[in-house]
């Protein structure tokens, strides 16, 4: 039986063996794929490489992205997709791959995003080699820049491991604590218990922060890929 303590302990350790409280991570080679991380037995698998039956389109109806091999890929113009299931506190694992777009600049360069509860975006971009800002890869838009640029080169598989704590409310519905997030990119900590005072971009799904929400992946018109997405709810 999986206990509450087991889930909480798992939240404090990434599946790669680099603890979420570790301060001395080792950076892998920038042009080598991050190893895929199998989900633990008590995780909920959101995408295993077979189909998008657990996802829907933001435009309504089935998710319109294509599945190829072990990954899903954005179909530009088909719209954002999000999970049918919703979540409160959780640890999320996402692996992503960015196309090489040397002719593009800034936000036009392999753009997508992972929205926690459909409301708080962790940016996905080709920001390799940049002095990272809040609108670069790993950034929380208008809230926090990554502590360090942990990006690999485009056309290389990368990963996020995210520990998310939802906002807290009292019995009357008054907000008492904002959401918080810790993020590892490629086993390197890029956000450490960062407070999220608001939903982060105009592209969020809704503003109902007192309710559980889905995991949303953004269609920003680029051929970004995702694979091996799983989540561990923390009650």
> 23-31: long-range contacts at Cβ-Cβ below 8 A with a sequence spacing of 24 or more?
23/189, 25/184, 25/187, 25/188, 25/189, 26/187, 27/150, 27/186, 27/187, 27/188, 28/152, 28/186, 28/187, 30/128, 30/151, 30/152, 30/153, 30/156, 31/152, 31/153, 31/156
Average pLDDT, stretch 203-231?
94
Q: Which residue has the higher pLDDT, 8 or 189?
A: 189
Are the C-beta atoms of residues 96 and 225 closer than 8 Å to each other?
yes
Query: Quick one: pLDDT band at residue 14, thresholds 50, 70, 90?
Result: very low
Average pLDDT, stretch 102-130?
94
Q: Is the pLDDT score of 86 beyond 80?
A: yes
Q: Is the pLDDT score of 26 beyond 50?
A: no
**What pLDDT is attached to residue 141?**
86
Which residue is associated with the tokens 């995780």?
Answer: 43
Query: Quick one: pLDDT band at residue 188, thresholds 50, 70, 90?
Result: very high
Are the C-beta atoms of residues 11 and 184 closer than 8 Å to each other?
no
- C-alpha span between 227 and 229 (Å, rounded): 6
List Cβ neighbours of 133 (8 Å cut-off, separation of 6 or more): 139, 145
Average pLDDT, stretch 95-108?
93
Average pLDDT, stretch 119-131?
95
Domains and CATH numbers, the chain: 4-14+32-234 (2.60.120.560)
- C-alpha span between 189 and 187 (Å, rounded): 7
Query: Quick one: pLDDT band at residue 221, thresholds 50, 70, 90?
Result: very high
Q: What is the pLDDT of residues 53-64, one digit of tens each?
A: 999 999 989 999
Q: What is the pLDDT of residues 192-213, one digit of tens each?
A: 999 999 887 777 888 889 999 9
Q: What is the pTM of this model?
A: 0.88
Average pLDDT, stretch 166-194?
97
Average pLDDT, stretch 121-127?
97
């Amino acid at each position: 039986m999986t206990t509450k303590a087991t889930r909480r302990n798992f939240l404090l350790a990434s599946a790669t063996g680099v603890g979420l409280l570790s301060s001395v991570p080792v950076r892998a080679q920038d042009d080598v794929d991050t190893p895929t991380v199998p989900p633990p037995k008590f995780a909920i698998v959101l995408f295993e490489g077979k189909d998008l039956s657990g996802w829907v389109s933001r435009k309504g109806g089935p998710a319109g992205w294509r599945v190829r091999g072990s990954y899903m890929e954005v179909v530009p113009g088909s719209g954002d997709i999000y999970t049918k299931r919703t979540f409160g506190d959780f640890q999320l694992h996402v692996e992503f791959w960015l196309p090489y777009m040397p002719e593009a600049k800034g936000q036009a360069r392999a753009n997508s995003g992972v929205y926690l509860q459909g409301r708080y975006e962790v940016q996905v971009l080709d920001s390799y080699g940049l002095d990272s800002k809040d609108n670069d890869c790993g950034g929380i838009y208008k809230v926090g820049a990554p502590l360090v640029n942990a990006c690999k080169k485009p056309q290389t598989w990368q990963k996020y491991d995210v520990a998310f704590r939802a906002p807290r409310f009292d019995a009357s519905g008054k907000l008492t604590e904002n959401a918080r997030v810790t993020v590892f990119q490629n086993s390197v900590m890029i956000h450490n218990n960062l407070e999220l005072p608001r939903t982060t971009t105009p592209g969020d799904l809704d503003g109902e922060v007192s309710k559980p929400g889905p995991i949303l992946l953004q269609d920003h018109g680029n051929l970004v890929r995702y694979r091996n997405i799983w989540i561990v709810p923390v009650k």
